[in-house]
Chains A and B, each alone.
Chain A
Amino acid sequence: MIDRILATAITEAHIARRNRWVAIAVLLMVVFSLVLAAAGSAATGALGADRLSVVVASLTSLSVYLVPLVALLMSFDAVAGEVERGTLPLLLTYPGARWEILLGKLLAHLGILALAIVAGYGAAAVAAIATDPRAAAGLPALWRLTWTSVLLGATFLCAGYALSSLARRPSGAAGLAIGLWLGLVVLYDLGLLAAIVADDGGVFTTRFFPLALLANPADAFRLFNLAASEATAAAAGVGGAAASIPLWQSLSPLLAWPVAALALAALAFRRVVP
């Protein structure tokens, strides 16, 4: 079983390398992180926080958009592409369960995503520490951001596999993936904001709003990192909400979502008839 999962992972890594996904993901994360590190340096003096903590706060806001996007771009083709190329029937006649195939793909894609995240955040950290000797104080926050980003990536990779299985055509899967990204990462927060404004401090704001934030893996990621970071004050937006939600509450969905998304993907893949 382990051998078969690794076999799939090795092959997927070859494919991702050839298709330049490794290069694209790493480049994207490094460039954006460095831009933030450079831009973030202007405000530090006034806030009194070390430079790296400020960069981490900025990176949190960046990653919540970028990590799900890169993850979905890497994963939307995983099943639909096999169906379209006609490679799926043969693959499914080989020994091994379907979830093993998904897990192999996940291992490869998550490895690449982790590499890109480490390269990007690492570059930003080097830039911050090089210009501010106090910046080492922000390293724990950076480490927390790194592993939560990998968990966030795993969630959206698995969501991509689920959509890929449901769509069965790469074009359809791409559309669904962009839809999911817009929905969870962009529109979800706007919707909540509109609801709060309309509710004006009523039951929704006090009871359902925190739950709604935690239900979305992207928001849980942002809450956890901002609540844990010392630079909460430096971040605009949900910083206030972050302070009122205990850490374990924002951590639980971060841990649960990758597992749940993988289970959903496996269920959807099982229903694909080659």
Chain B
Amino acid sequence: MTTTLTISALTKTYDGVRALSDVSLHVAAGERVALLGHNGAGKSTLMKIILGLIAADTGDISVCGAAPGSMAARGAVAYLPENAAFHPALTGMEQISHYLRLRGEPASKAMGLLDRVGLGHAAKRRIGTYSKGMRQRVGLAQTLIGAPRLLVLDEPTSGLDPVSRRDFYTLLDGLASDGAAILLSSHALTEVEARTDRLLILSGGKMVAQGTLGDLRREAALPVVMQLTARNGFAPDLMAALPGLGQDLRISCCQADKLPTLARIAALEAKIADLDVMPPSLEDIYSHFSRRDGQ
């Protein structure tokens, strides 16, 4: 795989405050990467540096082999800002036509793009009359112009209903399979979990973790929780037999002890009505990493 975006040892300081320190990352062609972090963790700053809107203090960035913000880079990168905003007096059609012309594409493609994001029916209405979700979809439509090699999406699904979110990720899958690299930030951890290849976690301007969800789960080594349901009247027996089992019949154990614990539970089969095994959620893993440094 070829690398579309490479960042090494990036540092940015605002008025003496470190917004980003020593951030390194790479996104390969066809890869979908989620950027997670609290508000103020540096996600938007990082994206603006990648787009060339603001300059980094130190560090190297290569966007499709060019410097960020150069004509070559801007021609290859599509951006969706958080809370995409447009001039309220323009119609969706006029706005997309404008963006098409700026990228040297014929304005006649506007209707097709709006149809792809489900806005065909509202194409001739002013954006001022659109809902937040519809504005977000205008934003999505403009990221589909041309064949961007890198998509930088700042909270792309905020304001979208569940069905639109699913449609959005289907669009992304199509773009990724065509070879586009995708870097998106999100607060919706569950959808990111299912629809991206790799996670990056920023905290306090530092990259505190990166890898697949499986990598992060192993690295975090968070306890697994098992929830037992006792057969009638056997709850006290279970608590006596399994040290660590609480009044609520929950037991937690580290990853390494998972199988031995299960074996001990299985030995008590006659007294147990049901068992649920709950692995650490993405929220747990995320909190683990984003709290580890400085928060």
Residues of chain A touching chain B, judged by Cβ–Cβ distance below 8 Å, are: 3-4, 6-8, 10-11, 14-15, 18-19, 85-87, 89-90, 92-96, 273-274
Which chain B residue has the least Cβ–Cβ distance from A15?
B89
Q: Given known contacts A89-B53, A90-B79, is B89 in contact with A95 (CB within 8 Å)?
A: no
* CB of B120 within 8 Å of the partner chain: no
Are A86 and B81 in touch, CB under 8 angstroms? yes
Please tell me if B20 contacts chain A, counting CB pairs below 8 Å. Answer: no
Q: Quick check: which of B97-105, B186-194, B207-215 contacts chain A, the rest being far away?
A: B97-105
A-B contacts, 19 of them at CB < 8 A, read A8-B98, A10-B97, A11-B90, A11-B94, A11-B95, A15-B87, A18-B89, A18-B126, A87-B86, A87-B87, A89-B48, A89-B79, A90-B80, A90-B81, A93-B51, A94-B102, A95-B75, A95-B102, A274-B48
- Chain B residues with CB under 8 Å of A15's CB are 87, 89-90
Q: How far is the CA of A14 from the CA of B142 in the complex (A)?
A: 19
In the complex, chain A residues whose CB is within 8 Å of the CB of B48: 89, 274
For A87, the closest partner residue in chain B by CB is B85
* CA–CA, A10 and B101, complex, Å: 10
B79 close to A93 (CB less than 8 A): yes
A11→B98 contact, CB < 8 A: yes
Contact A3 B84, beta carbon cutoff 8 Å:
no
Residue total for B at the interface (Cβ-Cβ under 8 A): 31
Contact B87 A3 (CB under 8 A): no
Report B's interface with A, CB cutoff 8 A. Answer: 48, 51-54, 71, 74-75, 77, 79-81, 83-87, 89-90, 94-95, 97-99, 101-104, 126, 139, 142
How many angstroms between the C-alpha atoms of A89 and B81 in the bound complex?
A: 8
Nearest residue, chain A, Cβ from B105: A3
A89–B103 CA distance with the chains assembled, in angstroms: 16
Contact A3 B89 (CB under 8 A): no
Interface SS majority for chain B: mixed
**CB pair A14 B94 closer than 8 Å:** yes
Q: Which of A6, A89, A93, A94 lies at the interface centre, i.e. has the most chain B CB atoms within 10 A of its CB?
A: A93
Bound complex: CA A273 to CA B54 (Å): 7
Please, how many angstroms separate the alpha-carbon atoms of A162 and B272 in the complex? 77
Q: Knowing A86-B81, A89-B48, A93-B53, say if A4 contacts B126 (CB, 8 Å).
A: no
Query: How far apart are the CA atoms of A10 and B81 in the complex, in Å?
Result: 24
Contact of B83 among A3, A7, A86 (CB under 8 A): A86
Instruction: Give the docked Cα–Cα distance between A86 and B84 (Å).
Output: 8
Chain A residues with CB under 8 A of B103: 94-95
Closest to B83 in A: A86
Contacts of A85 in B (CB 8 A): 85-87
Cβ-closest 3 pairs across A and B = A7-B101, A18-B89, A86-B85
Q: Within 8 Å CB of A6, what residues of B?
A: 101
Set of chain B residues within 8 Å of A87, measured between Cβ atoms = 85-87
Known: A15-B89, A273-B54, A274-B53. A94 touches B74 (CB 8 A): yes
In the bound assembly, the distance between CA atoms of A95 and B66 in angstroms comes to: 14
- A contact residues around B104 at 8 Å (CB): 3-4, 95
Kindly provide the distance from the CB of B191 to the nearest chain A CB, expressed in whole angstroms. 23
Closest chain-B Cβ to A207's Cβ sits at a distance in Å of: 48
CB distance from A80 to the nearest CB of B (A): 13
Give the distance to chain B from A274, nearest Cβ to Cβ, in Å: 5
- Whole-angstrom distance from the CB of A113 to the nearest CB of chain B? 19
Q: Which residues of A contact B87 (CB under 8 A)?
A: 11, 15, 85, 87
In the assembled complex, which residues on chain A have CB atoms less than 8 Å from the CB atom of B89?
Answer: 14-15, 18-19
Q: Given the complex of chains A and B, what is the CA–CA distance between A61 and B83 in angstroms?
A: 48
B152 nearest CB neighbor, chain A only: A93
Minimum C-beta distance from A242 to chain B (A)? 42
Complex: how many Å from CA A85 to CA B90?
13
Closest CB of chain A to B109's CB: distance in Å?
A: 14
Chain A residue contacts of B94, Cβ below 8 A: 11, 14
How far does the Cβ of B153 sit from chain A's closest Cβ, in whole Å?
Answer: 12
Which B residue sits closest to A96, measured CB to CB? Answer: B102
In the bound complex, residues from chain B placing their C-beta under 8 Å from that of A86 are: 81, 83, 85
CB B252 to nearest CB in A, in angstroms, measures 45
Chain B contacts of A90 at CB under 8 A? 79-81, 84-85, 139, 142
| B contact residues around A14 at 8 Å (CB) | 89-90, 94
Task: Across the interface, name the chain A residue whose C-beta is closest to B146.
Answer: A95
